[in-house]
Amino acid sequence: MRKTISQQPKPKTPAKPKAQLKPETQPKPGTQSKAKPIPKPVPKPLVSFVIPTINQVDLVVKCLSSLGAGLSLPVHAFEYVVVDDGSPPPLQEKLAKALRPFNGRLLRWKKNTGFAHAVNSGAAVARGRYLCLVNNDLVFPRKPWLAAMLKEIEKPGAGVVGARLLYPSGRLQHAGIVYLPRARRFDHEYRHRPGNYPPALETTEVLGVTGALMLVEKGFWNKLGGMDEQFFLSWEDVDFSLRTWAAGRRVLYTGQAYAVHPEGSTRANRKAASWAFWHKMDRETKARFWRKWGGRFFTAGWPDPETGGKPRFSRLQADYWCKVLRG
């Protein structure tokens, strides 16, 4: 029987060298082959929503649901950073589970550190170009409310942008912050007027805006050092607004963006809002504010709606713009 494998294969002749590629088609050293495409980097979000909360789950879910429904941005253009400021561990676990459908990030603190520290810690991990502070009890309309705020924050010289806030009854709660010299306190302009009060629908410069809904560029936020943590409860947004003016930036309010705000829900419930702790911290915060700012800018020349006068510029603002004109 004849074996077909007895013959030895002929030795292979050396292969002729392949023709060199033309210079213009040769791959450059260090470049990737087309077979292995370079993965595209994940784009950073445009806006990071920083939401402080304590002892709440359902309220946060309601806020996030309405917030997302009113955004006209692609999913990758925003992120949620929720900061739990000292809820019991079981409640924090419940909140973490509730945030999963929203792809929200949760920071947990073992004790109540105060609003300023909570938003500062959330802002520190936020990746967006802009920070939007959002109280956990806000409910947003089902239409693109954020676009109006972004339009203002992108204007030259803008530092902070606030929005119109309404009570659940539909009455105005906030249309910018004004100073009442006779009472030596701050208040929200046009409070309790109809929600569609024409002056509150305008876009204008104001003395300050509430931290319940505030948009600011993160780079500028970092430049100012965020909220001043010596203010445990309230007044930190007024302080931030004043520091914005002092830094040469403008504080703007737009009535074209709005949300409903049942004031006081952030502190868990009505009973919690009446605790002696909150009153004590409020008094201490107020005293610290006047130690920091008293006697420097606050005179009778500031806006006072109670007298019927409505100047749009505070003494601090006027001094700044006068320096700009002289310069």
Answer whether residue 289 shows pLDDT above 70: yes
Give dist(CA 88, CA 264) in Å, integer: 20
- What residue segments make up the domains of the chain, in order of their start? 47-267+275-326
CA 98 to chain centre: 21
Q: Mean pLDDT lowest for which of 51-65, 254-268, 300-314?
A: 300-314
What are 99-109's pLDDT values in tens digits? 999 999 999 99
Give dist(CA 193, CA 210) in Å, integer: 18
Closest CA to 255 of 211, 303, 195: 195
- Residue 74 — pLDDT band, cuts 50, 70, 90? confident
What's the pTM?
0.78
Which homologous superfamily is 47-267+275-326 in? Spore Coat Polysaccharide Biosynthesis Protein SpsA; Chain A (3.90.550.10)
How many C-beta atoms surround the C-beta of residue 142 within 10 A? Answer: 8
> 3-state DSSP: the chain helix, strand, coil percent, rounded to 5?
35, 20, 45
